[in-house]
Amino acid sequence: MLKLRRPHQAFNCNLLTLMVMAWLLGGCAGQPATPPVMPLTSEACTIAWQDVERQLQQVGIEDAQGNPVPGYPYLRVDRTLADFDLPALTPPERHDWLHHALYNGERALRVRLARLKKRHMFDPGWLMHCARQQLAALATDSRQWADLVSNVQVPDAYLDWRRTIGAYPLMRPILAHQVRGLQASQVKQFGAQADNSGARQFAPELPAPDPAQVAPILRHEQSRDRLGLPVFPQEDAEKLLAYHAPHLIMASDKSYDRPGTPRWQDSQWVVEPPARAYTLVTQVRWQNQWLPQLVYVFWFDERPKPHPLDIYGGRLDGLMWRITLDENGEVLMYDSVHPCGCYHQWYPLSDRLRLKPGAVGDEIMTVLPLEPPASHRDMSRPVVQLASGTHYVTNVKFGTPPDLTKETTPYQLIHYDRLRAIPDNTGRYRSLFLPNGLVAGTQRLERFLLWNTGVVSPGAMRQWGHHATAFIGKRHFDDPDLLERYFEPVRE
């Protein structure tokens, strides 16, 4: 049982004022002091965790994926974990919740230690051994659990003070008009006849697993923990990701239309071969169940500017393609967004989901229902077509990809965590993401126009967990209630 907590002219005339205000209000806060570590099972463990956190903070090595829990640096909480009614969890449920938070914490610790510029004596294996020893006490001791729960917090990705001083309620109709214009342009492009004469296909490097190997994964009784969250071995996760990995049809073979690998070069991020998709397995809530979601992140070197004053172009661009599977492992929904959190489009299967009447209100959502193919096997690797330069999704098809004149380029499936510690040409590691979750050098001119939406640097690329996807209202790509908030099942 889930326990859950529940006018163009005036706009242009004020551009200079908005730019100045956004610059003046863009200051950085100082580094906070390292919070004390709550005592672990041994003094040596407590001191070790205090030392590693102090040193990492002194040299400014942070990671914005998952929220650290003050006093418990080995735990990190995402929107899914924060969604549970934590005081109501039983000790066994607490235990499973803590294991998820510990898994997030271990990933963050390892990528941060990899980025230390000098040799260190910290052993991540021993540090995590200390943390695991503490879990039993946290799960069973009501006082410790209550203290932990009081420190769990995952704030939204919006700055409310910007909305306040930026007269957001007054500007909201203008913003809505601008966003609806862009949305209409995207909808018009979707499904239009494509000219594939210069197109190139990018396909998964490995063949799709046999459906007989994939079908039982989610039907196994051990595929869910006591919280109802999907859990499966890494091998099974890799099978699911490989089975559903999409084919990309890029409208051109230009360098900025080739998905690749982010690298640090000449003091900036570039994207070069080989082609890769960076993958995550996440979850969403639906009809009193948690469903698995498969996420594929493709990076491009740039979104080229057609002219110097173009507000959308700049360094790096990308596509995040997500698949929601039902409890039987069948596709329920596709959706996509760019790594800036922009251009979120939903592709529900028309025989499975539909928008709830009145659920959207004055929010703006691009919903493009897809007709399901005759065979479920055809859904294993959808064909996703992208426009040149903008990388907008212009079509989603099923079945055999089209024959193209250019040779198909294979792409690798790589864990998303590889972006959090990337080797540079000095033998060291750096994260693609800044401590605030943004990617350096990817800012767009649109940030001066949209600063009062509360979104931090609109248009800039950002890390998982920081994708605010709505300028009207509030919405995040990783909100655990997205499906329940906006969709309902199609009744036969």
In this prediction, residue 96 carries a pLDDT of: 98
For residues 165-178, give the mean pLDDT. Answer: 89
pLDDT at 11 over 70: no
Helix (H) or strand (E) holding 488: strand 487-489
- Mind listing the pLDDT tens digit for each residue in 13-35? 444 444 444 444 444 444 556 67
- Per-residue pLDDT band for 360 (boundaries 50, 70, 90) equals confident
Sequence-separated contacts (24+) of 310-313 with Cβ below 8 Å: 310/445, 311/444, 311/445, 311/446, 311/449, 311/459, 312/390, 312/444, 312/445, 312/446, 312/459, 313/444
For residues 342-354, give the mean pLDDT. Answer: 95
pTM across the whole model: 0.92
For residues 139-152, give the mean pLDDT. Answer: 96
What one-character DSSP code corresponds to residue 74? E
- Per-residue pLDDT band for 189 (boundaries 50, 70, 90) equals confident
pLDDT at 205 over 60: yes
In this prediction, residue 8 carries a pLDDT of: 40
In this prediction, residue 12 carries a pLDDT of: 41
> What tokens appear for 348 in the block?
């529900």
Beta strands in 218-371 (DSSP E): 247-250, 261-265, 268-272, 276-286, 289-303, 314-325, 331-337, 345-348, 353-355, 366-367
In this prediction, residue 171 carries a pLDDT of: 87
In this prediction, residue 200 carries a pLDDT of: 94
Helix (H) or strand (E) holding 170: helix 168-189
In this prediction, residue 9 carries a pLDDT of: 39
For residues 374-388, give the mean pLDDT. Answer: 85
- Per-residue pLDDT band for 196 (boundaries 50, 70, 90) equals confident
In this prediction, residue 20 carries a pLDDT of: 41
pLDDT at 120 over 90: no
For residues 111-133, give the mean pLDDT. Answer: 91
Can you spell out the DSSP letters for 18-34?
A: HHHHHHHT-PPPPPPPP
The residue count of the chain comes to 492
For residues 114-130, give the mean pLDDT. Answer: 90
For residues 323-336, give the mean pLDDT. Answer: 95
- Per-residue pLDDT band for 152 (boundaries 50, 70, 90) equals very high
CA distance 299 to 273: 11
For residues 139-155, give the mean pLDDT. Answer: 96
Provide the CA 287 distance to its chain's centre, in angstroms.
23
pLDDT at 474 over 90: yes
The share of the chain scoring above pLDDT 90, in percent, equals 75
- Per-residue pLDDT band for 311 (boundaries 50, 70, 90) equals very high
In this prediction, residue 149 carries a pLDDT of: 97
> What tokens appear for 42 in the block?
């041994």
Task: With CA atoms as reference, report the closest residue to 425 among 211, 263, 245, 195.
Answer: 263
In this prediction, residue 21 carries a pLDDT of: 47
Residue with the bigger pLDDT between 119 and 248: it is 248
CB neighbour class for 308 (10 Å; exposed up to 12, middle 13-18, buried from 19):
exposed
> What tokens appear for 224 in the block?
């869910």
For residues 268-283, give the mean pLDDT. Answer: 98
CA distance 396 to 380: 13
> Which of the residue ranges 24-33, 187-196, 352-361, 458-467 has the most confident prediction, judged by mean pLDDT?
458-467
Span between the terminal Cα atoms of the chain, in Å: 27
Mean pLDDT value across the chain? 90
Sign of CA dihedral 403, 408, 413, 419: negative
- Per-residue pLDDT band for 174 (boundaries 50, 70, 90) equals confident
In this prediction, residue 175 carries a pLDDT of: 85
CA distance 67 to 76: 5
Q: What angle do CA 242, 248, 249 make, to 5 degrees?
A: 155
For 294, the 3-state DSSP assignment is: strand
In this prediction, residue 400 carries a pLDDT of: 83
Task: With CA atoms as reference, report the closest residue to 379 among 454, 325, 445, 299.
Answer: 325
- Mind listing the pLDDT tens digit for each residue in 240-255? 999 999 999 999 999 9
In this prediction, residue 333 carries a pLDDT of: 96
The CB-side HSE value for 31 (13 A sphere, CA atoms) comes to 11
Residue with the bigger pLDDT between 236 and 403: it is 236
Distances, alpha carbon 20 to alpha carbons 11, 14, 24, 25, 309, in Å: 14, 10, 6, 9, 17
In this prediction, residue 406 carries a pLDDT of: 81
pLDDT at 113 over 70: yes
